[in-house]
Amino acid sequence: MTITKGVIMLESSASSHVFLIQSDENLLIDTGNPGAFAAIWSELRSLGCDSIAHILLTHHDVDHIGNAQRLQEETGADVWASGEDIPYIVGEKPRPGIKRIIQGILRPTPPRINGSYSGDQPFGDIRVISAPGHTPGHVMFLYRRVLFVGDLFAIKQGELRLFPRFLTWNSQVVLESLALLKTLEFEWLCPAHGHPLQRNDAVERFIRQY
Ligand SMILES: [Zn+2]
């Protein structure tokens, strides 16, 4: 699905979305659940994309970093993550609670991390926005009025929904990150789980709550 020119949501990782930003250097946002590498890579090539320069991770969860290592190996892409989440990605810290069990079952191979976002810094034309709470270092990305929200919330049947507490590192911090939404200029919301949503009344109502 094309969100806007040069911004594509891949079909090959529907349970946890991977987004492609096509420009001089192609870039991926998140990498889906482990095991989807072949499908993702085949879809990328079918889109005429045979090189990836950068992979930006929203956070450390297994369903977001799942194919980063294989994509990195295949394309030579560099992989970026937030400093607070890198220890979980590379296996220096165990993921908490149920996430440790998921990690034990899916056993993702960690990518090599080439760089970390520091604060709210630009990454080329992309604004990296620190939005912790789901994990300690969770970030969002803003590119041409498309806001990639990672797991700050999900969108199911047009409804914006918060994640349950057992999947959340700190619910209070999530609320503080949600308050950022009213300060950002966006036209599209792209969650990792659910369906992209163009700004509408439901979005306005959701934003006003925080
Ligand atoms: Zn997720």
Domain range summary for the chain, segments of one domain joined by +: 2-208
For residue 198, give the nearest of 189, 210, 207, 208 by alpha carbon: 189
Beta 154-156 vs 159-161: how paired, if at all? antiparallel
- Residue 100 neighbours by CB under 8 Å, 6+ apart: 94
The residue to which tokens 């969100």 are assigned: 3
pLDDT band with cut points at 50, 70 and 90 for residue 169: very high
Q: What is the mean pLDDT of residues 16-31?
A: 96
Question: Are 34 and 108 spatial neighbours (Cβ–Cβ below 8 Å)?
Answer: yes
Q: Give the pLDDT of residue 118.
A: 74
CA of 96 to the centre of ligand 1 (A): 14
pLDDT band with cut points at 50, 70 and 90 for residue 163: very high
Q: Give the pLDDT of residue 175.
A: 97
Q: What is the mean pLDDT of residues 145-169?
A: 96
95-106 pLDDT, tens digit per residue, is: 988 888 888 888
As given in the structure block, the two tokens for residue 173 are 């911090």
Q: Give the pLDDT of residue 98.
A: 86
Q: Give the pLDDT of residue 102.
A: 84
CA of 127 to the centre of ligand 1 (A): 20
What angle (nearest 5°) sits at the alpha carbon of residue 170, between those of residues 164 and 172? Answer: 95
CA of 117 to the centre of ligand 1 (A): 19
pLDDT band with cut points at 50, 70 and 90 for residue 182: very high
115-134 pLDDT, tens digit per residue, is: 998 767 788 899 999 999 99
Domain spanning 2-208: CATH superfamily = Ribonuclease Z/Hydroxyacylglutathione hydrolase-like (3.60.15.10)
CA of 156 to the centre of ligand 1 (A): 14
